[in-house]
């Protein structure tokens, strides 16, 4: 009897944890689904353009200094982060928030799909050494950003409607900005990981 109660309590706790973070899991799933779709779409995309982009990118990485590579990586990572931040401040920002992980996932999937289809095993190694580590950190951070932006956008939409609950928006805005400020740390970490791996291993490809 006690074992059944304990098992039931564990199941209930797991269910509550999943329910509490359902938005996070949805955005992570969207990213992974889009990445898979991007990899499959490579067959229908002009590979000459992809080849040119990847070749130029790889060549430039081999010639860049630490700070040049870091700034390039930061320039690639931050725009989507800021777009999500601004979308969260809009009651109508939800559609763009949902599109963010799809956009990032498609880009990642197309790149990795091309590397595999054109470079074979070398492309797989390139992807797992130079793309996956930093992308994993960034994609996970992006999912947290999407969750926060979606939550706050929904809150603003609710407070502007007939079901307003009189939430103290001043405190909510402070919390929203604080959380996004904290989320800049893993974004910067993903850029640093990208730079270190690029400078360490890109010359081998």
Secondary structure letter of residue 120 according to DSSP: T
Distance of CA 176 to the CA centre of its chain: 18
d(CA 193, CA 36): 23
Q: Are 145 and 81 in contact (CB under 8 A)?
A: yes
d(CA 94, CA 84): 9
pLDDT tens per residue across span 123-178: 888 889 888 999 999 999 999 999 999 999 988 888 776 566 656 678 888 999 99
Residue 156 CB-density burial (10 A; 0-12 exposed, 13-18 middle, 19+ buried): buried
pTM comes to 0.83
pLDDT at 117: 81
End-to-end CA distance of the chain: 61
| Low-confidence spans in the chain with pLDDT less than 50 | 2, 5, 11, 13-15, 17
pLDDT at 5: 47
pLDDT at 144: 95
d(CA 90, CA 87): 5
Residues 6+ apart with CB under 8 A from 45: 110, 114
Q: Where are the domains positioned within the chain?
A: 41-204
Which residue in the block uniquely carries the two structure tokens 């990118």? Answer: 57
Which residue in the block uniquely carries the two structure tokens 């706790």? Answer: 13
d(CA 201, CA 95): 38
């Amino acid at each position: 009897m006690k074992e059944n109660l304990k098992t039931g309590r564990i199941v209930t706790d797991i269910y509550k944890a999943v329910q509490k973070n359902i938005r996070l899991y949805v955005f992570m799933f969207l990213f992974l689904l889009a990445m898979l779709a991007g990899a499959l779409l490579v067959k229908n995309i002009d590979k000459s353009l992809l080849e040119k982009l990847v070749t130029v990118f790889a060549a430039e990485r081999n010639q860049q200094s630490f700070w040049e590579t870091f700034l390039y990586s930061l320039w690639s990572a931050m725009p989507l982060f800021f777009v999500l931040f601004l979308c969260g401040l809009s009651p109508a920002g939800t559609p763009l928030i949902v599109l963010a992980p799809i956009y990032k996932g498609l880009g990642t999937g197309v790149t990795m799909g091309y590397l595999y289809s054109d470079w074979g095993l070398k492309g797989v190694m390139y992807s797992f050494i130079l793309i996956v580590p930093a992308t994993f950190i960034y994609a996970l951070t992006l999912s947290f950003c999407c969750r926060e932006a979606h939550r706050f956008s929904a809150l603003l939409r609710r407070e502007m409607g007939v079901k307003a609950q009189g939430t103290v928006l001043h405190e909510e805005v402070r919390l929203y900005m604080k959380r996004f400020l904290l989320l800049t740390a893993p974004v910067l970490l993903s850029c640093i990981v990208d730079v270190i791996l690029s400078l360490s291993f890109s010359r081998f490809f």
